[in-house]
């Protein structure tokens, strides 16, 4: 059996839904690559930087409407829809798994997909025909605690449930919306390059302790993440992949010179997914 590899994607600005740049085609290839590698998921457990709670909460609604959780963007963005079925039965199962692992968990019969979830899924699985189970997480949990949360989700990979975490590998909006907004294709600023490179290197080395302590060890960590809720989903997906497999960057991209669009795959099949996503050689 080929396990579904957990994946972290950087979802970028809400405008990515209309102007996906090079990340849109990557997301399109990602769905096809996962289907070819491990089969189409029967459900998606989604962990987003925009769904936060005081303790883990499973949004177990039978249906999930599209949530436009932003303001001040073009009208066309608010017309986009990605409404999906929910996964109430899966929510009950996952709640039991987390409880058995000694983790606090709540299950609520409410739903909705924030833009961190529906923006990439519109490209990864355009038909919106796979049930989604959002898992809200506590932003005050440490990376190590969220890794443990992910470890409790690891059995889902063998059950046809894809763990998708979304956030941003770098996320300092003050650098984007300051006195002079950089253009979409601005050259990367050195602190962003250094931070992203450090993450790639420590991930390849499976240096989990350094990664858990990224705020003290990664270069320019506080500048790249003034608050770290957009990076924290990375650790949930990493935990779902396990300690024994390296985290593999499967997409390297940037917008506005400082907003990273990197994606990572985890678990024993992460390397296989990375190879499946490599552009064909001529």
Kindly report the CATH number that applies to the domain delimited by 7-181+229-252+263-277.
Answer: 3.40.830.10
Length of the chain: 282
pLDDT digits (tens, 9 = 90+) for 174-216: 998 776 788 889 999 999 999 999 999 999 999 999 999 999 9
Q: At 85, give phi and psi (nearest 5°).
A: -75, 150
Q: If you average pLDDT over residues 159-163, what whole number do you get?
A: 97
Query: Following DSSP, what letter does each residue of 76-117 receive, concatenated?
Result: HHHH----EE--HHHHHHHHHHHHHTT---EEES---B-HHH
Parse the chain into domains and list their residue ranges: 7-181+229-252+263-277
What pLDDT digit, counting tens, does each position of 69-111 carry? 999 999 999 999 999 999 999 999 999 999 999 999 999 999 9
Taking residues 48-68, report their average pLDDT: 98
pLDDT(227) > 90: yes
- At 281 the pLDDT is 63
Q: Mention every residue, 6+ apart, whose C-beta is less than 8 A from residue 100.
A: 152
Query: The tokens of 146 are what?
Result: 């969220």
- Model confidence at 282, in pLDDT bands (50, 70, 90)? low
pTM equals 0.97
Residue 65's CB is within 10 A of a number of other CB atoms, namely 14
Q: Residue 271 has what pLDDT?
A: 96
**Cα Rg, the chain, nearest whole Å:** 17
Q: Tell me if 152 sits within 8 A of 94, measured CB to CB.
A: no
* Residue position matching structure tokens 């090079």: 22
The pLDDT tens digits of the residues spanning 119-150 come to 999 999 999 999 999 999 999 999 999 999 99
Query: Strands of 57-59's sheet, edge to edge?
Result: 106-108, 57-59, 132-136, 43-48, 161-167, 7-10, 263-265, 248-251
What are the angstrom distances between the C-alpha of 243 and each of 8, 120, 138, 150, 156?
16, 26, 22, 11, 16
Mean pLDDT of the chain: 96
> Quick check: 63 pLDDT over 80?
yes
């Amino acid at each position: 059996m080929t396990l579904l590899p957990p994946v972290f994607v950087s979802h970028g600005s809400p405008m990515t839904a209309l102007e996906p740049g090079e990340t849109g085609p990557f997301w399109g290839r990602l769905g096809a690559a996962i289907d070819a590698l491990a089969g189409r998921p029967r459900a998606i457990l989604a962990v987003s930087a925009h769904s936060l709670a005081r303790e883990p909460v499973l949004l177990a609604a039978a249906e999930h409407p599209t949530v436009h959780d932003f303001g001040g963007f073009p009208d066309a963005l608010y017309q986009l829809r990605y409404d999906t079925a929910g996964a109430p039965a899966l929510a009950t199962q996952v709640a039991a798994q987390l409880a058995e692992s000694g983790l606090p968990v709540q299950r609520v019969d409410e739903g909705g997909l924030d833009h961190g979830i529906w923006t990439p899924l519109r490209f990864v699985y355009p038909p919106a025909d796979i049930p989604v189970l959002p898992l809200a997480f506590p932003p005050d949990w440490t990376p190590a605690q969220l890794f443990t949360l992910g470890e409790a989700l690891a059995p889902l990979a063998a059950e046809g449930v894809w763990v998708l975490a979304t956030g941003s590998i770098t996320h300092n909006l003050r650098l984007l919306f300051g006195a002079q907004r950089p253009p979409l294709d601005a050259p990367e600023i050195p602190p962003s390059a250094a931070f992203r490179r450090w993450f790639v290197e420590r991930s390849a080395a499976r240096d989990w302790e350094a990664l858990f302590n990224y705020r003290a060890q990664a270069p320019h960590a506080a500048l790249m993440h003034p608050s770290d809720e957009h990076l924290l989903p990375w650790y949930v997906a990493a935990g779902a992949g396990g300690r024994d497999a390296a985290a593999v960057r499967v997409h390297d991209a940037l917008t506005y010179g400082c907003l990273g669009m990197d994606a990572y795959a985890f678990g024993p099949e992460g390397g296989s997914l990375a190879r499946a996503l490599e552009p064909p050689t001529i």
